Amino acid sequence: MEQFFESATPAYITMAIVLIPLLGFIIQIFFGIKLPRKGDFVPTTAIGLSALLSVYLGIQMFRVYDPGLCYESIKTGVEWRWLDYGNVKVFAGVLLDNAGIVMLMMVSVVSFFIHLFSIGYMHGDRYYQRFFAYLGLFCFSMLGLVASDNLLFMFIFWELVGFCSYLLIGYFFYEEEPPKAADKAFMVNKVGDCFFMAGIIIIFHVTGSFNFREIFHSVESGEWAERAAEIGIYAGWITPQGLLTLAGLLVFGGAMSKSAQFPLHVWLPDAMAGPTPVSALIHAATMVAAGVFMVGRMFPFFTPTALLIIAIIGMITAFVTATIGIVHFDIKKVLAYSTCSQLGYMMLALGVGGFTAGLFHLITHACFKACLFLGSGSVIHAVHTQDMRDMGGLRKKMPFTHGTFLIATLALTGVPCLSGYFSKDAIIANALEWGMAEKGAAYMPFVFASLAAFMTMFYMMRLMHMTFWGKPKNQEKYDHAHESPPVMTIPLIALAILAIFAAGTILPWQTAAETWYGDLVERPEAVVMAESAHMHDAQHEFEHLHHEMHEVHHTAHYGALGASLSMVVLGFFFAWLFYGKKVLSAEKVATAIRPVYKTVVNKYYLDDFNDVVFVRGLRKFCNLLKITIEAAIDFLVNFAGYFTRFVSFTQGLVDKYIVDGMVNFWWWFSHLLASLFRVLQTGNTKDYLALALLGAVIISVLMLFV
């Protein structure tokens, strides 16, 4: 059925997938209140339709089963003329490759289950219909992001997704926490977006296009090198290769904030102030994954240096956020830090060249993390608290929740046979390969990834012990707890099933590369090569690297397998020691390493740093500006006043002496003339006669002699 992907049908289907949720949003936001059940079925049905359509696309993809599938709607004539004047032409279309189609499927299906869950979870909320409307808007934005074939539209949807996040985090606007968290999320995201936009601008400036394929072509054919050398702004201080790295890093900056990489991750834990379904959908499965997905899309564009930095940041994120996750007691915060850590894993994978692994982990993570969040939502719904110190022994009271939660946890921690095992193992294997190929300090990603795996297991088991196992710590809450209604448990079960089978296999000896995903999604060729000497090095670098990595592939794989399995076991064991048998005491350890503990608990003082430097600093600066401007304006206004008075005074003088003087002069003059002429008016007839005669004489003289 190759013809399917050569016609315009996939484009239309994709547009339907993207736009149906938007329609759902429009209907819901205007008419939701008036519909029965406050219209919750409208967005749910919409996303359900999108899910069905994307599954249909997925089926087509499986039929074709071509790793090189790259469907561009522009080629089939389906495009939208966004800008077209002079030199600037932006035509937007749909881009579908295997990774993208899988992403569409994941987003729509997971969203659908979360919609179902929300019907139960948000039941009775005062602004019920608004929640579903926002969910619909978000789905539209996310699906659009995945389907875009150019950076501009991806950025537009990127921003839209961030905006929906703001709306949904601040959903409980009448409380104190959510609006602040929403602001924080939006602001931090904006920082990253600025970098992203700078990167897009540089790319557009040099290549003249936003379209992914055209950008890659420009770099590959050497056009980038030529143009970058020509343009004066860049030619002076940076080589074309350096500019390429810079643009790549700036673009990655956007991913840093969206996908919560250190240090721009600070918004994600606070975002837990939003409703739990929101946390599940946006801050676990989809929106935060957008950054990873974007890095995947732009993968051919990154130079080795850029990828190195990506890997480093991913590594740091994975490790540091995992450490914070160990010490928190809020169940959602633990899961939030877990998300940060896993995102770090994904970035790490992409940085070391494990393209398939990273994106695969994205998909599997979406499934089990969403399940975990919804499960926590189920728990919170039951015990009405988020603090794990008030929980315990819920295993008996909430079997379905416990069961699905356990399955998802095992998947997250990389226990064999479950989907997470395949993806996580692949990442660690790739990290080891890279380390072995590059040697020396390049082993660090592997080491950190392994340590993070240990900590992942540790904190998840800690969570399990504190929440579901052991004895209840708060008897009252325990008594009230009950299992959630089916509308909430069915999505949990569905997601758990996905968490198990997403890899398409449960045989532990298979690797990710052998899964359907590994078949369909291959690392794209980097296009970072050109005629200049520098570029030539990059090409060689990559080829050399990948060659080396391939050599050590099998060795690394077993090594990684051993490492990750041992981490799993160790983590389980230690967690059991601390929280199961209570042989070791967490408090004692905390007291022993008190300064370290304090730092970690305070999230490495990042939030405080941001607050002091940026928030307060900005406030002081604004205050200063205000005082300065006020002083300036006061001065101006006063000056205007004085000046006006001065002008008026002068004018008064002029008016009094000159104008009046002129008038007075005429008065004086006419008086003078009048008194002269009055002499003639004597009233005496004889004088008049004499004057008449005189007049006659004068006239005669004039007539005779002139």
Which residues form the interface with another protein (CB under 8 A)? 681-686, 689-690, 693-694, 697, 700-701, 704
Residue 20's alpha-carbon distances to 37, 302, 569, 627, in angstroms, are 20, 34, 46, 51
Contacts of 674 (CB under 8 A, 6+ apart): none
- Which of residues 3 and 684 has its CB atom nearest to another protein in the complex? 684
- Which of residues 583 and 703 has its CB atom nearest to another protein in the complex? 703
585: left (phi over 0), alpha (psi -120 to 50) or beta: beta
What is the separation, in whole angstroms, between the first and last Cα of the chain?
Answer: 123
Q: Are 4 and 61 in contact (CB under 8 A)?
A: no
Q: Which helix (H) or strand (E) holds 417?
A: none
| Distance from chain centroid for Cα 113 | 23
**CB of residue 665 vs another protein: minimum separation in angstroms?**
28
Residue 218's alpha-carbon distances to 204, 213, 315, 460, 595, in angstroms, are 11, 9, 31, 46, 52
Q: What are the DSSP E strand ranges found in 249-301? A: none
**CB of residue 688 vs another protein: minimum separation in angstroms?**
10
Q: What are the DSSP E strand ranges found in 19-77? A: 70-72
Residue 693's alpha-carbon distances to 219, 244, 362, 603, in angstroms, are 115, 113, 127, 123
How many other CB atoms sit within 10 Å of the CB of residue 176?
9
CA–CA separation, 169 and 183 (whole Å): 9
- Which of residues 83 and 696 has its CB atom nearest to another protein in the complex? 696
**CB of residue 643 vs another protein: minimum separation in angstroms?**
56
- Which of residues 629 and 694 has its CB atom nearest to another protein in the complex? 694
Q: Tokens 């448990």, residue?
A: 489
- Which of residues 236 and 683 has its CB atom nearest to another protein in the complex? 683
684: left (phi over 0), alpha (psi -120 to 50) or beta: beta
- Which of residues 441 and 704 has its CB atom nearest to another protein in the complex? 704
- Which of residues 173 and 688 has its CB atom nearest to another protein in the complex? 688
**CB of residue 686 vs another protein: minimum separation in angstroms?**
6
Name beta bridge partners: 81. Answer: 91
**Cα dihedral sign, 539-543-546-548:** negative
Helices (H) and strands (E) in the chain, counts: 31, 4
CA–CA separation, 339 and 269 (whole Å): 9
- Which of residues 633 and 689 has its CB atom nearest to another protein in the complex? 689
- Which of residues 614 and 688 has its CB atom nearest to another protein in the complex? 688
- Residue type, position 187, single letter: M
**CB of residue 677 vs another protein: minimum separation in angstroms?**
14
- Which of residues 1 and 702 has its CB atom nearest to another protein in the complex? 702
**CB of residue 675 vs another protein: minimum separation in angstroms?**
14
Tokens of 369: 């993390």
- Which of residues 471 and 686 has its CB atom nearest to another protein in the complex? 686
CA–CA separation, 403 and 682 (whole Å): 134
**CB of residue 650 vs another protein: minimum separation in angstroms?**
46
**CB of residue 685 vs another protein: minimum separation in angstroms?**
5
- Which of residues 533 and 680 has its CB atom nearest to another protein in the complex? 680
Three-state SS annotation for 113-163: HHHHHHHHHCCCCCCHHHHHHHHHHHHHHHHHHHHECEHHHHHHHHHHHHH
**CB of residue 671 vs another protein: minimum separation in angstroms?**
17
DSSP structure class, residue 557: H
**CB of residue 694 vs another protein: minimum separation in angstroms?**
7
**CB of residue 644 vs another protein: minimum separation in angstroms?**
53
Contacts of 503 (CB under 8 A, 6+ apart): 360, 364, 418, 419, 421, 422, 423, 512, 515, 517
- Which of residues 486 and 695 has its CB atom nearest to another protein in the complex? 695
**CB of residue 673 vs another protein: minimum separation in angstroms?**
18
**φ, ψ (nearest 5 deg) of residue 95:** -120, 125
**CB of residue 678 vs another protein: minimum separation in angstroms?**
10
Q: Are 632 and 295 in contact (CB under 8 A)?
A: no
**φ, ψ (nearest 5 deg) of residue 132:** -70, -35
CA–CA separation, 104 and 464 (whole Å): 32
**CB of residue 676 vs another protein: minimum separation in angstroms?**
17
**CB of residue 695 vs another protein: minimum separation in angstroms?**
12
Q: Which helix (H) or strand (E) holds 88?
A: strand 88-92
- Which of residues 441 and 703 has its CB atom nearest to another protein in the complex? 703
**CB of residue 667 vs another protein: minimum separation in angstroms?**
22
**CB of residue 670 vs another protein: minimum separation in angstroms?**
20
- Which of residues 584 and 693 has its CB atom nearest to another protein in the complex? 693
- Which of residues 237 and 705 has its CB atom nearest to another protein in the complex? 705
Q: Are 169 and 161 in contact (CB under 8 A)?
A: no
- Which of residues 585 and 682 has its CB atom nearest to another protein in the complex? 682
CA–CA separation, 268 and 328 (whole Å): 14
Residue 248's alpha-carbon distances to 244, 251, 289, 416, 631, in angstroms, are 6, 5, 18, 36, 45
